[in-house]
Structure 1
């Protein structure tokens, strides 16, 4: 047998043995980690990089969400379930209940005078009022009635109940760190709320309804006569941030130059310790002035973008999403994003949720921008 034929036989045998080995590795629930550029089928780096990922996606409130929300309120009654929410599932992450990799958005309608029983969970959440002026959340003894644009915290492991104390239906939007907590195998729920050993359908108020504003509504002034550790701690002690205040701040500074990549953006923060309201996610309100277009921005953080006022465009990796109030757009990490206010006369106001503080805590936050000339520059 010549050397050439022998080499061919050896190569054929090796290929067969490799195929059998890879089959065994897969059967025994393992993954091969030895990159070999020529071996495309088993290029582990490529496979890792092309794993399950969120994709840019838009949910239209008028076309998709509102009709289903109204239908669910008609078909699923208070007697059927303690909660009635529609979770936005990213097509790239199905069947995982996630809108981006670490967060999800849900929409909820409460009928008039409908208040659900208390519950608590290890996931942190916020509620943002969309319609109605008498959305209700009772959280750790503070009864909060809120309306359009108001942001309410329900921190991890705090007893809370949701509802509506008005005479008209009310819709709110929620953002939770559920996918992150689930990934960390730390998700827990409790539903049997008790006071003095007795099951209760509603918490007894222990604080005045204006407690958050009364104690923390004067910027730069921190009361020393109260305990700032509310619930289990680890979150902002302010449980409601009013839209009127943040909207007025943006309006007051509408002539400021702003950030070319973010327009005018304000972050919700902890007034005692500083920094984001939660360790696992952070939130912003952003104004785009009439005709304003941001420069392209790419970051490892993922975003959930929900317009509250105005119409415009969110361009993600070259894909244009025309948005209206109450839509939600998923912007996965490492996507290029631009925001456009298409009106020449009216501002756009966007509510944005982000996991940037999680990435920052692990040293994984990176941000890049493009100049007006198209040059890529590192921002963080």
Structure 2
């Protein structure tokens, strides 16, 4: 008499043994990287890829601005040294991230409201939206900025924020905090001191060590660099030019508006470190992107994640086949790997995005790639 077990019974015993093995692995904080069946439950490739991912999303300034006003009434500087609204991507919530490596936050400061200095390892910029009295002091350079001006607050540089001039002002911030957090390298310091008469003294305001126009006076002429100055201020961890004025960017865009540009991006002008020609930070960089009246870009896909704020104009983007409408001062998240087209629906007004990208990190790690499609729909490798 045969003692062989039926195939069905052997399969059942194997499945039970596998389940026991999987249960023990998970209980001991391990992951089985193999696939033993066609079932979803045991498709480890799908499980491995099924981590939280950012999704395309638009945050509407028409919804943000009233919330900023309410927060300003309810939260004073006596309550908190910060009053910003961080944009959280629905695919990553509750993580404070607008895409996987960056977040955008909006800040409204009441008239003549100055916060104490602090510093941190994440790198950040402030980009003016409304009001002419936005204020950021960076390592002794006191910067007053308005709409379109971009101010750096580099990794480990002392800085403080606020407003001057008796009127409220709104700016947006972009930080690489989610990336730095992922690398377990976040630190903050709020104990600002200066040396006075040979003693360390706590201060709530930084003493000015540079003229207010230092960034523009020293670095404002492309291709020219004064030799007698130290260009590693702030530790040399970023561009030494800490404010980029909008009038210069606008003049550059105006000078290029009749060029063909890139059919997948329109006219793009990067902000750069004037001493190297590279990105302003080692981790993330920023740019202005112009779509001429009626312009529609061809489909493009890149590994880098993007945050786009329409500074001028309105329109829509097609991201992985879905339409996303945006207006002035909104923020649009374009996660890495998405196909995207941008459309300026106006036949007379340009669209100008303020953009942020994590491409510098990806390029440093040799991970950055970019593809596009031509008008016939053919796939092209662009970078």
Which of the residues 336, 339, 343 maps onto 2:342?
339
Which has the larger displacement, 228-237 or 140-149?
228-237
With the length of structure 2 as denominator, give the TM-score of the two structures.
0.97
1:209 corresponds in structure 2 to: 212
2:295 corresponds in structure 1 to: 292
Quick check: 1:67 aligned with 2:70? no
2:153 corresponds in structure 1 to: 154
Quick check: 1:240 aligned with 2:272? no
1:57 corresponds in structure 2 to: 57
Q: Secondary structure at the residue paired with 1:307?
A: strand
Quick check: 1:270 aligned with 2:244? no
Alignment of 1:247-262 (within 5 A): 247-262=250-265
Shift of 1:4: 6.8
Give the superposed CA RMSD.
1.1
Shift of 1:234: 2.1
2:308 corresponds in structure 1 to: 305
Task: Write the distance in 2 (CA, Å) between the matches of 1:11 and 1:345.
Answer: 69
**Number of aligned positions between the proteins:** 379
Is the alpha carbon distance of 1:125 and 1:16 closer, same or farther for their aligned partners in structure 2, counting shifts above 3 Å?
A: same
Shift of 1:299: 0.4
Shift of 1:36: 3.8
Which of the residues 349, 352, 363 maps onto 1:349?
352
Quick check: 1:183 aligned with 2:186? no
Alignment of 1:83-98 (within 5 A): 83-98=82-97
Shift of 1:314: 1.6
Where does the alignment leave 5 or more consecutive residues of structure 1 unmatched?
Answer: none
Shift of 1:51: 1.4
Q: How big is each residue's C-alpha offset from its partner over 1:114-140, in whole Å with a ceiling of 9 and x where there is no partner?
A: 000000000000000000001000000
Q: How big is each residue's C-alpha offset from its partner over 1:45-91, in whole Å with a ceiling of 9 and x where there is no partner?
A: 111222110000110001x2111111111100010000100000101
Task: Write the distance in 2 (CA, Å) between the matches of 1:37 and 1:143.
Answer: 63
Shift of 1:5: 4.0
Is the alpha carbon distance of 1:369 and 1:141 closer, same or farther for their aligned partners in structure 2, counting shifts above 3 Å?
A: same
Task: Write the distance in 1 (CA, Å) between the matches of 2:36 and 2:310.
Answer: 46
With the length of structure 1 as denominator, give the TM-score of the two structures.
0.98
Q: How big is each residue's C-alpha offset from its partner over 1:152-193, in whole Å with a ceiling of 9 and x where there is no partner?
A: 000000000000012111000000000000010000000010
Where does the alignment leave 5 or more consecutive residues of structure 2 unmatched?
Answer: none
